[in-house]
Structure 1
Amino acid sequence: MKIDVLTLFPEMFDGVFGASILGKAREKGIVSLEAINFRAYSTNKHNTVDDYPYGGGGGMVLKPEPVFAAVEALKHEEGFRPRVILMCPQGEPFTQRKAEELASERHLVLICGHYEGYDERIREHLVTEELSIGDYVLTGGELPAMVVIDSVVRLLPGVLGNESSAVTDSYSTGLLEHPHYTRPAEFRGWPVPDALISGHHGNIEAWRREQSLLRTLRRRPDLLETAELTDKEKKWLDAMKRETAEKSPDS
């Protein structure tokens, strides 16, 4: 996979692209990561990339010319249209499902804005979609782009040491992930659940599934509305909901 980031601050990505999982994936040749300063595509003598908004108002707006030119240069290199994503608080909420979808692409281009916003023609005529990592505003799209890249790259084959890790992560199954334990078997009087040290794979998987359902019920019950559940699991969750309601001080 090839991922290009168009940004005014490419130095922000140096540490992120060179460390941990992303750095290893890059070294293995699984992914190509590059941060490109789209100021280099400005054609005016001062290399400006922003201007005052028509109609007045505070802040500066990113001009269309350098952004279009940067994306078109990348498209020309590849010979086909990459998926062009605008990092924007107005965009579609980024989810694990979206990460899985993007992980199947050959080439992603992420555009990081700054200042007040983008010239609307960038949205209408250049990008394929807009993504947001949450209902809040940051100073630029660089941090959201890092989040998207990290979540996508870790899904690529060969990136993680254990291929099943990405499959069982929170949200990958539609539920929150089950609790984890490691050695020692007992710490300060707190033991590891018996099922995990039983050596019985069926019991272990059953315990993990139950804990995943329970954690989702307690922390993100909204996820259960779309999760794929068996009839037995639905009945068990209904029983847990009744039990929780009975224990509530207000009940």
Structure 2
Amino acid sequence: MQKSILFRSLVAIFLLGVIHFAAAQNVDEIIDKHIKAMGGADKLSKLQSLKITADMEVMNMKVPISTIIVQDKGFRSETTVQGMTVVQAISGNTGWTINPMAGQTTATALPEESVKAMATETDLTGLYNYKQKGYALTLDGEEDLAGAKVYKVSMALKNGTKRINYISKDTFYILKMIVQTTINGQEVKSENTQSDFRQVDGVTYPYTSEVSTTAMPGTTMVLKISSLEVNPKIDPKIFEMPK
């Protein structure tokens, strides 16, 4: 009897190991095809900086946004609303903002949680080299997303942020992301639906993003890129907090 129970337990452990290995293998196969669709490892490994100009449509307003990113080092965005420019920037483990809409005309340090949440934006290469980056991925099955067949791949980042990637079974582009993070002590969930994929210097980018977030309930923001420059030379001083 005891031998029978032991045998069944060993079989169960073996099967779980096989299932886990197969799932991991499937995730890697999906990610490999996704990386190829985004331009390939050779192109992504050489991606060092981006300069993006876009317009965001929100609450019947068109809001210009310029964003500069240096891989794993710095992020800076400037958003102009009603003639006032809001600046947000991070450099390594520190960040700051100038927000005249809130009466802040000089640079103010960002909370640590906000810096951690924004730090993910300095990774320009997404799921490329995800294991080396310390991301944990799991394949949660397949779904139908507005008529498109997708793989549902969950991802946990080292800073505690969780993201679900909906990867097209046809193009292997990420069609939608759901991100859960903590900002200012509050759990924030955001959904980003991506479309209008174009190649710039051999790397694929979504030129249109439709975003909703629990931080702004009932509001949908549509971001449309007007220009995107790959690997421009960036002065690192733009990320430093003004004195």
- Per the normalisation by structure 1, the TM-score is 0.25
- Which structure's residues are more often strand, by fraction? 2
Greater Rg by CA: 1
